[in-house]
Chain A
């Protein structure tokens, strides 16, 4: 089995915001995307597939983005998260989210960030959502569990039966560190081993550990099932690590990945790749149809990507947690843009991986 060195500090890069980059502003990102010539608009592509206007089919997942602070600065991050970000969901919004969780039958609460565990009330959110009978997903960057103040996390996950979805772009060091920062791979392996030791990813324990892979580059993800088989074989062979499912997620041309595309002169080519790969079957299963995304300030969005582009839900629907109305939101029209091609390319992409077979 391949030895892994002791945890060490990993590389952290300044966020777009810290660099005062123009693309730190959502309006600038929208403007850059709008200027890229594409063969057809996303609305036209949906219309050709008989899916326009796109409507929600219900709310099965309440996704809470509790803040943008993160101990990592991944190069593809659509949130532009990092240690220097200060946005955190305030108490009034947390309280209202808990009211919604406890008073509705939305079955799944999906907590993301930044590193969501850095929020001071993250533990309370998990505990109360679990007590309300919800499935709770934590989108974990793994390395957070190695920080001294957060070493309690693996055991807490297990005690609460949290569904852990963790990022690991590749089963080898080079790809993972290229995307997520030097040293992240080693720390991730250590964290995964600790989760495995508690029963995560092992058959029969009910403790679910899923992994997410984003391409380390400007190509589209490959076949999810085939990659999962390869990731399982290699992680077990190289590191003795087990997990449940692998989700492939396409890199979205938003925030830091948009910056990377611009900087390397690949934005037009990448968008063209997404547009050319439009798949009507993937479009029918996009996550915005059954997900409601809550921003740190309580604004409601169709997805985390629209959230980062500051495109709130349709103006005819309630737009904050404070005027939340399940019925009205469950059949809202989805707000679209050219970035949506990222979720409909090839086998599709969502927070739950591919959306078409």
Chain B
């Protein structure tokens, strides 16, 4: 019986997700590798995007993996912190912009 939901040792075991659905896992990991390969964006830029998204979806595995990956790919902590602020700004802005809906409702309901 696990006493907690998250375990850092689970991260290197990610591949085990293919155990009962190998074809799907194979497709996923091949696509995943292709996504992060150098293309119109550099590997470093993609890694920073992944780090920001990891914070937006608040995935501790992804934050662990992409903190390491960003450093390896040449980003420094200042750049990584700015990327996290981008994620936070979008999350905050996404909440705030809905305030326009609220104001619309209030306007319609009010006097």
Contacts and interface: CB of A to CB of B under 8 A. Distances in A.
A227 interface: yes
Contacts of B79: 172
B78 A174 contact: yes
Given A217-B71, A219-B68, A219-B71, A174 B42 contact: no
A283 interface: no
Contacts of B43: 222-223, 226
Given A229-B42, A230-B42, A230-B44, A222 B74 contact: yes
B73 interface: yes
B72 A175 contact: no
B45 to A, nearest CB: 9
B26 interface: no
A289 interface: no
Contacts of A174: 76-78
Interface in A199-219: 215-217, 219
B72 A220 contact: yes
Interface in B57-111: 68, 71-74, 76-79
B102 to A, nearest CB: 41
Interface string B14-38: 0000000000000000000000001
B72 A215 contact: yes
Given A226-B38, A226-B42, A216 B76 contact: yes
Contact of B71 (A215, A229, A230): A215
A304 B72 CA distance: 24
Given A215-B71, A217-B71, A219-B68, A175 B44 contact: no
Sorting the interface of chain A by its residue count into under 10, 10 to 19, 20 to 34 or 35 or more gives 10 to 19
A219 B78 contact: no
Interface centre among A170, A174, A222, by most chain B C-beta atoms within 10 angstroms, is A222
Interface centre among B43, B72, B73, B77, by most chain A C-beta atoms within 10 angstroms, is B72
Given A230-B42, A230-B44, A222 B73 contact: yes
A231 B42 CA distance: 13
Nearest to A226: B43
Nearest to A225: B38
Nearest to A217: B71
Contacts of B72: 215, 219-222
B55 to A, nearest CB: 19
B71 A170 contact: no
Interface string B39-57: 0001110000000000000
A224 to B, nearest CB: 11
Nearest to B73: A222
Contacts of B73: 222-223, 226-227
Interface of B: 38, 42-44, 68, 71-74, 76-79
7 contacts: A170-B76, A174-B78, A216-B76, A219-B72, A220-B72, A222-B43, A226-B43
Interface of A: 170, 172, 174-175, 215-217, 219-223, 226-227, 229-231
Given A172-B76, A222-B73, 18 more contacts: A170-B74, A174-B77, A174-B78, A221-B72, A222-B44, A222-B72, A222-B74, A223-B43, A223-B73, A226-B42, A226-B43, A226-B44, A226-B73, A226-B74, A227-B74, A230-B44, A230-B74, A231-B74
